[in-house]
Structure 1
Amino acid sequence: MDSGAYLASQLAKGFARSLQQRAARLGFSPGQFPVLLELWAEDGLTQKQLLARVDIEQATMANTLARMARDGLIDRRPHPSDKRAQLIFLTDKAKGMEGDAIEAAREADLALFQGFKSFERELTLAYIRRLLDNAKKL
């Protein structure tokens, strides 16, 4: 198949499968990983702030956060000045898995690039970044 969109979709699915195997034993899902990354970088964000940083639909974010709360990964607290908003904080469980989760993602990434030379990997990543920049313009 020569469709870039189709191939990118297949690649995303492959990465998700690879990460799923590693993430399941740690207690998170691939769909939760981008939210975890943002909260590890800056804990206490609102759902609106997370939406601006993670490119998913509002309903998907709400479902993801509900599952994360159910799984003991996040706590929601009232916003001090906006009664409509809540602040989302990582639990100790989620904070404790940061290193292992990032390592699991690194292993999943390395598995996808198995057999690639270093320059081929870097060139592929540069092309993907360019494609993503173009996709944001659509």
Structure 2
Amino acid sequence: MAENVLSTPGHLVSLAARGFARLSESRLKPLGFGVGQLPVLVALKDGNASTQRDLARFAKVEQPPMAQMLARMERDGLIERTPDPVDGRSSRIVLTRAAQERMPVAIATLFQGNREALAGFTQAEEAQLIDLLTRLIANLDQMAGAEAR
């Protein structure tokens, strides 16, 4: 029996990711956020990054797209940049008060969307899915790193 390319994990994960992205985008837009901004928002909120370089690394994107995203976020009043006291060529990036105030609602909205998408899944199935996807992402990251060398 021939394999169906539309039933492969890669294709199904891609469909799921696009579905989550569409759902999240439609729910975050009224709050002034975009789904692509999530890694930046979370990293800044949690204190995991404060420079463009750190944010690009955290979000696993290249510097130019990160610079563009940060420029849009600054224009939209989500972030502020201040000179880095240690490195004058760099800037520290922080969430604005407005973004900080909307973050709890945005996070709750995303969790609600996940709960709805996983309707009918047991807690064990949800935990297993998270574990499997985490391992899959680690494998893909390892493969990408090997190919880059």
CA distance in 1, matches of 2:48, 2:73: 14
**Deviation of the 1:68 alpha carbon:** 0.6
**Deviation of the 1:44 alpha carbon:** 6.9
Residue number in structure 2 paired with 1:36: 41
Show structure 1 runs of 4+ deviating over 6 A. none
Cα RMSD of the aligned pairs, angstroms, is 1.5
* SS of structure 2 residue aligned to 1:22: helix
| Rg (Cα) greater in structure | 2
1:19 corresponds to which of 20, 24, 37: 24
Confirm or deny that 1:88 pairs with 2:82.
no
Is the 8 Å Cα contact of residues 49 and 58 (structure 2) preserved in structure 1? no
CA distance in 2, matches of 1:23, 1:80: 34
**Deviation of the 1:27 alpha carbon:** 0.8
Residue number in structure 1 paired with 2:66: 61
| TM-score, normalised relative to structure 2 | 0.86
Is the 8 Å Cα contact of residues 44 and 87 (structure 1) preserved in structure 2? no
* SS of structure 1 residue aligned to 2:31: coil
1:128 corresponds to which of 110, 126, 133: 133
**Deviation of the 1:43 alpha carbon:** 7.5
User: Tell me, which stretches of 5 or more residues in structure 2 are unaligned?
Assistant: 1-5, 144-149
Return 42-51 or 68-77, whichever deviates more. 42-51
Report the identity percentage: 36
* SS of structure 2 residue aligned to 1:127: helix
Is the 8 Å Cα contact of residues 43 and 89 (structure 1) preserved in structure 2? no
Q: Which amino acid aligns with 1:110?
A: R
User: Tell me, which stretches of 5 or more residues in structure 1 are unaligned?
Assistant: none
Is the 8 Å Cα contact of residues 76 and 88 (structure 1) preserved in structure 2? yes
After superposition, give the CA deviation of every residue in 1:19-71 in whole Å (9 maximum; x if it has no partner): 11210111100001111000000187010111121112222211211111111
* SS of structure 2 residue aligned to 1:114: coil
CA distance in 2, matches of 1:57, 1:104: 28
| TM-score, normalised relative to structure 1 | 0.92
